[in-house]
Chain A
């Protein structure tokens, strides 16, 4: 199994297209993080020095949303290329056990997205930290609440990448994977337009709500809330993966 994952990493080092997408992901994430940071006058009506350290951290980490969208695209193209180019013939000849092949792709995407997410989160935190220091904003503390927030930020690209993977395996097209992940990401925005009694029931089953449980700073520790959010996220990954694997497994190539 490790050999197949290793081959996928090798593929990235060989193919400029994939390298460029990853490079663009890093550049755009940092660029957008900084843009959000330097436009607070317009977006919040406050200058940087008027913001608290947690607000600066929150705004800078919005760059990870860009990472998430870029990884949705990267994942869909990486997986769909196997189907489109026909290299799936060779891949399945090497790994005829389709659950093994599927699991390898899932682990590879999980690995690369979490690795990139950690690096970019660290970069964005560093930028936020520099801004906090330069503006003499006090009170920054590395407590468990902040750590949980960072955990939520780091897992977000991986989570949506895995949804993109599921969508791509199901439809065997990049557009299908991207559309599915983006639909899951943006549907809550539409649901919020419904009356509160409707949206309050539907929203908690969407991953956005569960991810916010982690990314928002909570004043008190609520293990039940985190546990509930974790279950929601795991269920989304499990159900979509099972459905896409089922479809992939019964496909003829």
Chain B
């Protein structure tokens, strides 16, 4: 089990990570979301002692990372796919990792096969595309068959086949009881693979929920209704303490369920054209939660 306790990192006046506490369970894919500069990478680096926390700690099976006797057996990481000596081949890179960490060299072939790099194993990394480097980074992270797998933006640069492969791999790793932590800006990908979502903004924990909870409890969930008497329906709903917003053709209703709206319409003999519960996408939720907590915002002005 991986536990983050009041994890804090401060660079001068800027607090990159602010008292972050989380417990990451095995068998679960956790999506780690946050805008640029929100502290995702810093948190990941603090887990493996690349960055020293200003306060708080990371506990892995009761120990800190640097106290582990064979740390790579506990945690496998992909922090930066380009952080490889580009004059090495994929095979040589993995051979160096296995020698330094005293791992079984038979895993090299397994990893090359699994990541689809077997065909280019003897080509220098400098000739690889970003997607191929990502695959090599994943191979490096999984070399020692670790209990916890941490991958920072692993979908970047991957083609459709690569994304599909990675999705399957995450599910497979979680099913085999591993703790999988994936950060990404690609909300759709996180939505497709994650069982749990952690959102941070300006270093603070903004949301920590399962995908199921997100779908059920989200503030953004509303009921959309279209009827023949929009004004009458609106008044009726407001009388029943609903929060109603008029849209072009229908109403956006909060605080009441679709069932309750349907019963009200039936009782007052209103014809419904459409009645549905609208659940936000992860992207919409992310935008809503991180509103005002984004460090870098583009102005969106047109270039003339």
Q: Which residues of A contact B (CB under 8 A)?
A: 3-4, 6-7, 10-11, 14-17, 81, 85-97, 250, 252-253
Given contacts A85-B83, A89-B83, A253-B51, 15 further A-B contacts (CB under 8 A): A6-B100, A10-B95, A14-B92, A15-B85, A15-B88, A81-B85, A85-B86, A86-B82, A89-B77, A92-B49, A92-B50, A95-B100, A96-B65, A96-B66, A252-B45
Q: In chain B, residues 79-99, which have Cβ atoms closer than 8 Å to a Cβ of chain A?
A: 79-80, 82-88, 92, 95-97, 99
Interfacial chain B residues near A85, Cβ < 8 Å: 83-86
Bound-state CA distance A88–B84 (Å) is 9
Contact between A7 and B100 (Cβ–Cβ < 8 Å)? yes
With A89-B79, A97-B66, A252-B45 already in contact, the answer to whether A4 and B100 are too (CB < 8 A) is yes
Contacting pair B71 A94 (CB below 8 A)? yes
Neighbouring B residues of A6 by C-beta, 8 Å: 99-100
User: Complex: how many Å from CA A11 to CA B97?
Assistant: 10
For the complex formed, measure the closest distance between the CB of A6 and the CB atoms of chain B, giving whole angstroms. Answer: 6
Residues of chain B within 8 A (CB-CB) of A86 are: 80, 82-84
Confirm or deny: B2 has a beta carbon within 8 angstroms of a beta carbon on chain A: no
Contacts A93-B72, A253-B51 known; A3 to B102 CB distance under 8 Å?
yes
Closest 5 CB pairs of A and B: A86-B83, A7-B100, A96-B66, A7-B99, A252-B51
Q: Are A96 and B48 in contact (CB under 8 A)?
A: yes
A93 and B77 in contact, given A15-B85, A85-B86, A86-B83 (Cβ under 8 angstroms)? yes
The reply on B52 being an interface residue by CB < 8 A is: yes
Q: How far is the CB of A74 from chain B (nearest CB, A)?
A: 16
Query: Known interface pairs A15-B87, A16-B87. Does A94 touch B52 (Cβ–Cβ under 8 Å)?
Result: no
Residues of chain A lying within 8 A (CB to CB) of residue B52: 250, 252
In Å, the complex CA distance between A81 and B72 comes to 22
Q: Which residue in chain B gives the minimum CB-CB distance to A13?
A: B92
Chain B residues in contact with chain A, CB under 8 A? 45, 48-52, 65-66, 68, 71-72, 75, 77, 79-80, 82-88, 92, 95-97, 99-102, 140
Q: B48 CB to closest chain A CB, in angstroms?
A: 5
Is the contact region of chain A dominated by helix, strand, or loop, or is it mixed? helix
Interchain CB contact under 8 A, A94 and B100: yes
Query: Given the complex of chains A and B, what is the CA–CA distance between A4 and B86 in angstroms?
Result: 20
**Interface of B (DSSP majority class):** loop
In the bound complex, residues from chain A placing their C-beta under 8 Å from that of B65 are: 96
**B-side contacts of A92, CB under 8 Å:** 48-50
Q: How far is the CB of B137 from chain A (nearest CB, A)?
A: 9
Can you list 15 residue pairs at the A/B interface with Cβ under 8 Å? Answer: A3-B100, A3-B101, A3-B102, A6-B100, A14-B92, A86-B82, A86-B83, A87-B84, A88-B83, A89-B80, A93-B77, A94-B101, A96-B68, A250-B52, A253-B51
CA distance A3 to B97 in the complex (A): 10
Contacts of B66 in A (CB 8 A): 96-97
Q: For residue A96, which residues in chain B have a CB less than 8 angstroms away from its CB?
A: 48-49, 65-66, 68, 71
Bound form: Cα–Cα A17–B140 in Å: 23
- Give the contacting residue for B96; candidates A7, A252, A253; CB below 8 A: A7
Please measure, in the bound complex, the distance between the C-alpha atom of A96 and the C-alpha atom of B48, giving whole angstroms.
7
Q: How far is the CA of A96 from the CA of B68 in the complex (A)?
A: 9
Residues of chain B contacted by A7 (CB below 8 angstroms): 96, 99-100
Nearest opposing residue in chain B for A9, CB measure: B99
User: Whole-angstrom distance between the alpha carbons of A134 and B75 in the complex?
Assistant: 64
Please, how many angstroms separate the alpha-carbon atoms of A93 and B46 in the complex? 11
Residues of A within 8 A of B49 (CB): 92, 96
Are A91 and B100 closer than 8 Å at their CB atoms? yes
CA of A10 to CA of B99 in the docked complex: distance in angstroms? 9
B72 pairs with A94, CB closer than 8 A: yes
